[in-house]
Amino acid sequence: MLTELDFLDVVRLTPLVSIDLIATDVHGRILVGQRRNRPARGTWFVPGGRVQKDETLDHAFTRIVESELGISGMERSAARFYGVFEHNYPDDNFAGEPGVSTHYVVLAYAMTMTGSAPIGRFDQHSRYEWLTPDQLLARRDVHENTKAYCR
């Protein structure tokens, strides 16, 4: 486990690899949460998380779906690979350290949520909403990186 100072060095020197979850409901609405943490604090964003060192993408996907959406045991093959995206935060990082940017290489996966899943991890997001793509694109408080999934 990295210390906060070691992780800040990682953020300063390398891109991070993450998985974003474009979760839609049966009505085509997309799940977004209002971020509590940096980067992008206060904006609405799709759920997701970082891939850990030596973790396979399959394991990372299953872990992130469970921690972000409350769904246990979902396999990556059950979702549709949506593409590779880059998220750059030139003046923002988890520690609020001046002059340190954050760069993510994001693997986005789309999935349709059926039934009622216990969605929500409130240490990462203060609340959640389901938005249509048009609603998502029209709102100023939805982060541009999330809007990219609807364009």
Binding-site positions read 48, 68, 124
The annotation places the binding site for Mg(2+) at 48, 68, 124
Instruction: Please count the residues of the chain.
Output: 151
